[in-house]
Amino acid sequence: MSKVIEQLRDDANYYGEFGSKYISNSDIGTLLKNPRMFKVREEPTVPMLQGSYLHTAMLEPEKLVNFEVVEASTRNTNIYKDAVSHSSSSILLLKNEQDELDSLVSTMKGNFFFYENIYRDGNVFEQPAVMDIFGMFKGKADIVSEDILIDIKTTSDIDDFRWSAKKYNYDSQAYIYSQLFGKPLVFYVVCKKSHRLGVFEPSEDFVLGGRDKVMRAIEVYKKFFSKDATEDINNYFIQDTL
């Protein structure tokens, strides 16, 4: 198992073919809402790129050199299009986006509580784990601390985070990670709009709701994708009562 963990430390393995044999929290929403897209490789999006940059800046700043930043006002400019044409990436970060993300990083690092807990001696960053949780799951914790896991999130409106957390399946993440690492997951959140900060500790009901999502998702997985699958995914359709 230790050799698997070491391989999963490398993002190329974690997000690539090696890691694809495991189910992750990002698969939960797909299995529940659109299982035809399960394990279909998605094109990167701007929010994904921005989230990756922010996490890298917070936890692995030495890797920021891997991000290409373009001095363009929008992605519709010739400057940007020319940069993409000479890049191996299909989407690049704009300089104004980098500046805003750096500002969010400064906000988090400038708060004593956030800084003290994120960078506490002994904390481990970007720690992978695998475990059989109704199926073989993988996860990579942002920060493994002595008693808790810390997960860094951004939100467009921190006042709505308690509702958006369920929409984006942070409840199933809280359940999966608590199983993988044997510690509760706590969300450290920064608001992109106001730069307000928040610490959100999942309740028992929140985590149990996440467990229910995982169990329902696994039923879909077993039905369509396991070696003992009973149905063809091409026969999938939504059935509901209006």
Kindly state whether residue 221 falls inside one of the protein's structural domains: yes
Kindly state whether residue 241 falls inside one of the protein's structural domains: no
Position 44 scores a pLDDT of: 86
DSSP string, 46-88: HHHHHHHHHHHHHH-GGGGGG--EE--SSTTSHHHHHHHHTSS
Per-residue pLDDT of 189-222, as tens digits, reads 999 999 999 999 999 999 999 999 999 999 999 9
Give mean pLDDT, residues 8-25: 92
Whether residue 1 has pLDDT greater than 70? no
Kindly state whether residue 58 falls inside one of the protein's structural domains: yes
Tell me how many domains the chain contains: 1
Helix, coil or strand: residue 94: strand
Per-residue pLDDT of 182-198, as tens digits, reads 999 999 999 999 999 99
Contact in structure between 150 and 188 (CB atoms under 8 Å): yes
How many angstroms separate the CA atoms of 236 and 225, rounded?
12
Q: Say what the pTM is.
A: 0.93
Kindly state whether residue 81 falls inside one of the protein's structural domains: yes
Kindly state whether residue 242 falls inside one of the protein's structural domains: no
Kindly state whether residue 188 falls inside one of the protein's structural domains: yes
How many angstroms separate the CA atoms of 210 and 184, rounded?
13
Give residue 236's pLDDT band: very low, low, confident or very high (50, 70, 90): very high
Give mean pLDDT, residues 46-73: 96
In whole angstroms, how far apart are CA 169 and each of 80, 88, 230?
33, 31, 27
Kindly state whether residue 110 falls inside one of the protein's structural domains: yes
User: Residue 86 belongs to what domain range?
Assistant: 2-235
Kindly state whether residue 71 falls inside one of the protein's structural domains: yes
CATH number of the domain to which 36 belongs: 3.90.320.10
Share of the chain above pLDDT 70, in %: 100
Contact in structure between 141 and 129 (CB atoms under 8 Å): yes
How many angstroms separate the CA atoms of 127 and 125, rounded?
6
Per-residue pLDDT of 64-99, as tens digits, reads 999 999 999 999 999 999 999 999 988 999 999 999
Per-residue pLDDT of 141-189, as tens digits, reads 999 999 999 999 999 999 999 999 999 999 999 999 999 999 999 999 9
